[in-house]
Amino acid sequence: MSTPHDSANSVFRLGLFRDFPTLMHYRDFGGYQALANALSGSPEAVIGEIGAAGLRGRGGAAFPTAAKLQMVRDNPPGVRYVICNADEGEPGTFKDRFIMTHIPFQLLEGMAIAAYAVGAAQGFIYIRHEYPEAQETMRRAIAAARAAGLLGADILGSGFSFDIEIFSGAGSYLCGEETALLSSIEGKKGRPRLKPPYPTQCGLWGKPTLINNVETLANIPPIVDRGSAWYRALGTADSHGTKLISLSGDVVRRGLYEVPFGTTFREIIYDYGGGLKQGRLKAVNIGGASGVVVPPWELDCPLEYDACGQRGITIGSGAVFVMDDSRSVLENVRNRIDFFLHESCGKCTPCREGLRQAGRIIHKTLAGEAVLADIDNLERYTRTMQNAAFCGLGQAAGNSLISSLKYFRDDYEAMCRDQNQAAPKEATA
């Protein structure tokens, strides 16, 4: 990971990127000062600071983190849980794996502070099965933190106790959906549940549960340590702090970048990524498989929740995937639809059948066997899926499709049989 700005402006502890991250190194860089700070004050003060910083969830939904903490805290006294969602399954995204393998203690510290804020004694990290190295590093980090009195009973002599267990996923993308993740920890199929009730009230084993993404939790220690004013100054008036961007595809320097909010996508691709390896820019996929496909002229949009929202761009997990002009947008969308069809749990019809039909039409189009009417149908099916699917997977599965139809409809139509036949007829008329 690299940033053009210095580490004073970095949320992630850059000095720590070495082979095996040790607790000693993390503490040398100011690690665990935030936890000590937090424990010497009240839980309300912690929530207040995170609220003032304006931190929003980094898993994709961008929900205000302090509000979520408060909702869990507000429950009647009793057992609560903190869950770290490390089921990073969004194709094109590798930020959470990076945090776990390089700065695991920043995540553990963030979880401990969050647990103190909501009054939880037990936490889980749900790590996908595809990340065995992250599971291993986190296990070692947990053991080291426990041995140093930074996890477990009576943390830093404060009387506050909190411990963390690792839970491995088993190859289901859907388990990244928070209610499916809960079912999975409970030993069931990872299928989503109806909301409300929300996990903040009725979560793991029916108890109030805080579920946050890895990156969100790792943002907490620097906020508590350096204050909300410092944090807000990093971003823009609308979006605060920094965002981890997983940059992949046809760029010179693929990799993970921490960028302040307000950076444009063009800057991400050209300044951070060094521009295209060859050819010209054709399209960029933003936000992973459930994100959108946009043409080059949308790239001056700043990375900002409002600005992106207005243009229909989903920041999502922060994946930016670049395609040069030798690539086919249709092939790309087909890959994403195949992915969702494979991952759909089949519980509801719009998602199950919608994806099947969408997949069928795209394959047909790529084979040169579709007609223009098929493309209209494709659009209709996708809208239905977006509006009527039961959970976020089905609702988001059509995003790449709809955006590609909006910007690259010509590419679809050029592949249609009747379109190709129409041209010579016109020529003779």
Partner 1 sequence: MSTSLQAVREIVTASSSGQAALLQVLLAVQDSSPENYVSEEAVNEIAHLLGVSRSRVYSTASFYSVISLKPRGRHIVRVCINAPCENAGKQAVLIALEQELGVSLGGTTADGRFTLEGVSCLGACYMSPAIKIDNRLYGDLTPEAAVAIIRSYGEEDTIEHTA
Task: Return residues touching partner 1 (CB under 8 A).
Answer: 88-94, 96-98, 129-133, 136, 165, 167-173, 184-191, 205, 246-250, 254-256, 285, 289, 319, 321, 323, 327, 331-332, 335-336, 339, 343
- Extract the tokens encoding 77: 């006294």
CB-based contact 350:362 (threshold 8 Å): no
Nearer to ligand SF4 among residue 104 and residue 192 (C-beta): 192
Largest CA distance in the chain: 88
- Extract the tokens encoding 274: 């060094």
Report the site for ligand SF4 in 169-198 (rule: CB under 6 A): 174, 192
Nearer to ligand SF4 among residue 118 and residue 389 (C-beta): 389
**What's the CA gap between 113 and 109, in Å, rounded?**
6
Report the site for ligand SF4 in 384-423 (rule: CB under 6 A): 389-391, 393-394
Residue type, 17: F
Per CB under 6 A, 345 contacts ligand SF4: yes
**What's the CA gap between 93 and 318, in Å, rounded?**
7
Please enumerate in sequence order all residues whose Cβ is within 8 A of that of 410, keeping only pairs 6 or more positions apart, or say none: none
Residue type, 20: F
Per CB under 6 A, which region of 43-51, 53-61, 289-297, 341-349 contacts ligand SF4? 341-349
With contacts defined by CB under 6 A, how many residues of the chain interact with ligand SF4? Answer: 14
With contacts defined by CB under 6 A, how many residues of the chain interact with ligand FES? Answer: 2
Per CB under 6 A, 346 contacts ligand SF4: yes
Nearest distance from residue 163's CB to partner 1, in Å?
A: 11
Per CB under 6 A, 91 contacts ligand FES: yes
Residue type, 27: R
Nearest distance from residue 422's CB to partner 1, in Å?
A: 31
CB-based contact 86:78 (threshold 8 Å): no
Binding-site partner at residue 352 among partner 1, ligand FES, ligand SF4, none, CB < 5 to 8 Å by type? ligand SF4
Closest CA to 219 of 243, 250, 191: 243
Sign of CA dihedral 147, 139, 222, 110: negative
Nearer to ligand FES among residue 130 and residue 238 (C-beta): 130
Nearest distance from residue 301's CB to ligand SF4, in Å?
A: 28
Binding-site partner at residue 133 among ligand FES, partner 1, ligand SF4, none, CB < 5 to 8 Å by type? partner 1
Binding-site partner at residue 394 among ligand SF4, partner 1, ligand FES, none, CB < 5 to 8 Å by type? ligand SF4
Nearer to partner 1 among residue 88 and residue 258 (C-beta): 88
**What's the CA gap between 323 and 329, in Å, rounded?**
8
Sign of CA dihedral 224, 230, 234, 238: positive
Nearest distance from residue 363's CB to ligand FES, in Å?
A: 21
Nearer to ligand FES among residue 92 and residue 203 (C-beta): 92
**What's the CA gap between 378 and 261, in Å, rounded?**
35
CA-only gyration radius of the chain, Å? 23
SS3 295: coil
Binding-site partner at residue 347 among ligand SF4, partner 1, ligand FES, none, CB < 5 to 8 Å by type? ligand SF4
Residue 182: half-sphere exposure toward Cβ, Cα within 13 Å = 24
- Where are the strands (E) in 152-254, listed by range? 163-168, 209-213, 242-249
Binding-site partner at residue 179 among ligand SF4, ligand FES, partner 1, none, CB < 5 to 8 Å by type? none
Binding-site partner at residue 336 among ligand FES, partner 1, ligand SF4, none, CB < 5 to 8 Å by type? partner 1
Which of 327, 347, 364, 406 is close enough to bind ligand SF4 by CB under 6 A? 347
**What's the CA gap between 67 and 303, in Å, rounded?**
23
SS3 content of the chain, % helix, strand, coil (to 5): 50, 15, 35
Class of residue 107 by CB neighbours under 10 A (exposed 0-12, middle 13-18, buried 19+): buried
SS3 185: helix
Per CB under 6 A, 152 contacts ligand FES: no
Nearer to ligand SF4 among residue 208 and residue 394 (C-beta): 394
Binding-site partner at residue 340 among ligand FES, partner 1, ligand SF4, none, CB < 5 to 8 Å by type? none
Q: Which residues lie near ligand FES (CB under 6 A)?
A: 91-92
Interacting residues toward ligand SF4 by CB under 6 A: 174, 192, 344-348, 351-352, 389-391, 393-394
